[in-house]
Amino acid sequence: MKILVAVKRVIDHNMRLRVKPDGTGIETTGMRHSMNPFCKNAVEAAVRLKEAGAADEIVAVSIGPDKARETLQTALALGADRALLVQTDEMLETLAIAKLLKAVVEEETPDLVLLGKQAVDDDCNHTGQMLAGLLDWPQASFASAIEPGPDGLVVTREVDYGRSEHFVPLPAVVTADLRLNVPRNVGLPAVMAARKKPLAVRPLSAFGVDTALRLRTERLDPPPERAPGQALETLDALVATVRDLAHGVRAE
């Protein structure tokens, strides 16, 4: 089985996000970036399938600026065999990303495409579903377990009412939830070895995909400031505070 894993470079989830003063977007300059956490779960899942003998090649793909090479280096250090950067400085919507991934799938012909369930910068949760729709492939989103079977995969999905288990014939698209696994830490030897693995860079224009924007962001506002919390010394003080709040004696 050949696996394609889509990995996105996002502002590191530990950074405090700031809206640009003119409200046109999120401030990205000076922010630490890293691989989207759900994409790390997707790479880890691919590596575990390879370690279990169920996969023989893992190709990591990222669409974004030249700096996304770092994200691909992380994927290679985690265990991907080679990487492809679709290089662009354009702002892309998820439909364009899904169309580009479809073009990569058509060239690479993987049996399985693994993605994160969502990117933590836009929280869209679109790309895997759109890609499966464009390819007309079966999909299992929010995977919390993936077991290889003789003719496909058994995927457990995290759903509101619990877990649901599905047989998914290949080729298929699967998106990773956080509970799928705990991604391994990569040590210096793996980082050094990753530098020797192939990383191809191709411009967005090489894929002939319509990336025209279909949405316009009118304005972005930061969430309203919340009043700071209060530290109370005793349970009695807590009870009195809650009672006063309930009776409107104190402002929240």
Task: Note the residues at the interface with ligand AMP (CB under 6 A).
Answer: 6-8, 36, 38-39, 42, 62-64, 94, 97, 115-116, 118-119, 122, 124-128
Residue nearest to ligand AMP (CB): 116
Chain Cα centroid distance, residue 168? 21
Q: Which is nearer to ligand AMP, 39 or 194 (CB)?
A: 39
Assess contact for 19 and 128: CB atoms under 8 A.
no
Q: Which is nearer to ligand AMP, 192 or 213 (CB)?
A: 213
Assess contact for 78 and 50: CB atoms under 8 A.
no
Is the N-terminal amide bond of 171 cis, ω within 30° of 0? Answer: yes
The pairing of beta strand 199-203 with beta strand 82-87:
parallel
Shortest Cβ 114–ligand AMP spacing (Å): 8
- Per-position DSSP letters for 197-249, written without gaps between them: S-EEEEEGGGG--------------PPPPPPPP---SSHHHHHHHHHHHHTTS
Q: Which is nearer to ligand AMP, 59 or 97 (CB)?
A: 97
Backbone angles phi, psi at 114, to 5 degrees: -105, 135
C-alpha span between 47 and 53 (Å, rounded): 10
Shortest Cβ 140–ligand AMP spacing (Å): 14
Shortest Cβ 180–ligand AMP spacing (Å): 12
Residue type, 48: R
Q: Which is nearer to ligand AMP, 126 or 241 (CB)?
A: 126
Q: Which is nearer to ligand AMP, 124 or 242 (CB)?
A: 124
Assess contact for 85 and 67: CB atoms under 8 A.
no
Shortest Cβ 124–ligand AMP spacing (Å): 4
Shortest Cβ 9–ligand AMP spacing (Å): 7
Shortest Cβ 120–ligand AMP spacing (Å): 8
Assess contact for 146 and 49: CB atoms under 8 A.
yes
Assess contact for 68 and 147: CB atoms under 8 A.
no
Q: Which is nearer to ligand AMP, 206 or 232 (CB)?
A: 206
Shortest Cβ 132–ligand AMP spacing (Å): 11
Q: Which is nearer to ligand AMP, 127 or 156 (CB)?
A: 127
